[in-house]
Amino acid sequence: MKLYYNNDADLDLLKNKTVAVIGYGSQGHAHALNLKDSGVSVIVGLPGGDKDWIKAEWKKAQDDGMTVYETSEAAKKADIIMILVPDQLQKQVYETSIEPGLEPGNYLAFAHGFNIHFNQIVPAKDIGVFMVAPKGPGHLVRRVYTEGAGVPCLFAVHQDPDGKTRDIALAYAKGMGGTRAGVIETTFDEETETDLFGEQAVLCGGIVELINTGYEVLVEAGYKPEIAYFECLHEVKLIVDLIYEGGIAGMNYSVSDTAEYGGMIAGPQVINKDTKKTMQKLLSNVQDGTFAREWILENQSGRASLEAMRRKYNRLPIETVGKELRGMMSWIKKDK
Ligand code: NAD
Ligand code: MG
């Protein structure tokens, strides 16, 4: 697999071009600020109107030194338009405020492939379409850049009318600081499918159920909820940090031999062949568009299921205990 570094990308390709970053959330602020500090001409696009959150975002971006326009104005002015609004809003924002401002030779950019891969956004053939997706949350992308390093990025090209889209994508990744760490080429298909599968089976879905089921088993057996919380939730971070830094072997080196032996005996019983079959089914629902259709319809119908499930998860006993215990931990941010 080829990794691309600073020498493989040419920031001069962004000279005389204006980049509009649409949205100033987690990814938006990091893209806009990193590009600006790399000498790229950047503007920010946000909705107009006087809702409080909108006014707060204009102020935040302006306080950060950004020039802000309403989205349609920003899209018109820019040569490269990076869409960093929530995925479920992108189609509407694109159709009402971005598409009318696109001209042949412009580039449309994404940090996640959902809307292109599932045909929610279909740009004209004369628009270059690429993705630059940092493999980290926005605040980390920004912080690591200011420290002189970078967060690794994925990049991909969906549509290349002028033969330059790939080099523009690499230049953009360089402006973000990504080529300081290494950038990997992927496709919109691969990024979208692996991202959805990962968050469902492992990151947001699998881990939560593993934690909560372990907690329930201990509490139902009569152990104190606080002890169960520490064991099944709090310590997950300590173990994941070890795996993140040193792989599975690095974690096993640090824990006791008892934990290593017990883990290897028990793990495959908890996550077994049936679990793997379930994961394969989840992957095929992602691949054949079953999940995308369900999620698009859920949004169109007012998110009834999402809200119901949120209420259910918010009522979990582990959440009540957790809130109390985290109050004892001065090092955890209180504003979450
Ligand atoms: P976010 O929820 O943090 O920010 C969304 C921003 O969109 C808001 O702050 C607001 O500025 C803007 N917005 C909302 N409605 C708007 C409208 N109608 N017009 C213009 N702007 C509007 O979103 P995010 O997490 O930064 O996600 C943006 C994109 O980045 C998504 O495609 C996501 O999949 C991708 N991504 C996110 C992460 C991450 O760590 N959060 C990582 C990789 C990729
Ligand atoms: Mg992701």
21 lines ligand 1 (CB under 6 A): no
Give the confidence band of 79 by pLDDT, cuts at 50, 70, 90: very high
Instruction: Name which of 154, 177, 156 is nearest 165 in CA terms.
Output: 156
Q: What is the pLDDT of residue 316?
A: 98
Instruction: Report the separation in Å between the CA atom of 217 and the middle of ligand 1, taken as the mean of its atom positions.
Output: 37
**84 in contact with ligand 1, CB cutoff 6 A:** yes
Average pLDDT of 275-304? 97
% residues pLDDT > 70 (the chain): 99
Is 133 touching ligand 1 by the criterion CB < 6 Å? yes
Categorize the per-residue pLDDT at 65 as very low, low, confident or very high, splitting at 50, 70 and 90: very high
Determine if ligand 1 sits within 6 Å of the CB of residue 138.
Answer: yes
Would you report the helix, strand and coil content of the chain in percent, each value rounded to 5? 60, 10, 25
In this prediction, residues 96-100 reach a mean pLDDT of 98
* 336, pLDDT greater than 70: no
Q: What is the percent of the chain with per-residue pLDDT over 90, rounded to a whole number?
A: 98
Position in ligand 1 atom list of the atom nearest CA 134: 43
Whole-number Å distance, alpha carbon 88 to ligand 1 midpoint, is 10
Q: Is the beta carbon of 132 within 6 A of some atom in ligand 1?
A: no
Mind listing the pLDDT tens digit for each residue in 41-62?
A: 999 999 999 999 999 999 999 9
CA distance 121 to 88: 11
Active site residue 112: yes
In this structure, are residues 193 and 284 in contact, taking their beta carbons and an 8 Å threshold?
Answer: no
Q: Is it the case that residue 335 has pLDDT exceeding 80?
A: no
Give the model's pLDDT for residue 334: 65
Per-residue model confidence (pLDDT) at position 333: 76
CA of 112 to the centre of ligand 2 (A): 8
Number of the ligand closest to the Cα of 58: 1
- Can you give the C-alpha Rg of the chain in angstroms? 22
Please tell me the distance between residue 329's alpha carbon and the centre of ligand 2 in angstroms.
Answer: 28
CA proximity to 118, closest of 83, 86, 91, 154: 91
Nearest CA to ligand 1 atom 10: 23
| Closest listed ligand to the CA of 134 | 1
Which ligand ends up closest to the CA of 48? 1
The mean pLDDT of 67-85, rounded to a whole number, is 98
Q: What is the average pLDDT across 109-120?
A: 98
pLDDT for residue 209? 98
- 24 CB less than 6 Å from ligand 1? yes
Residues surrounding ion ligand 2 at CB below 5 Å: 195
Question: Does the beta carbon of 28 lie inside 6 Å of ligand 1?
Answer: yes
The residue contributing the CA closest to ligand 1 atom 33 is 112
pLDDT of 88 > 70? The answer is: yes
Given a contact cutoff of 8 angstroms between Cβ atoms, the answer to whether 123 and 108 are in contact is yes
Q: Is 180's pLDDT higher than 60?
A: yes
Instruction: Name the nearest CA neighbour of 133 among 190, 173, 106.
Output: 173
pLDDT in tens, 210-265: 999 999 999 999 999 999 999 999 999 999 999 999 999 999 999 999 999 999 99
Ligand 1 atom closest to residue 110's alpha carbon, by position in its atom list: 32
pTM: 0.94
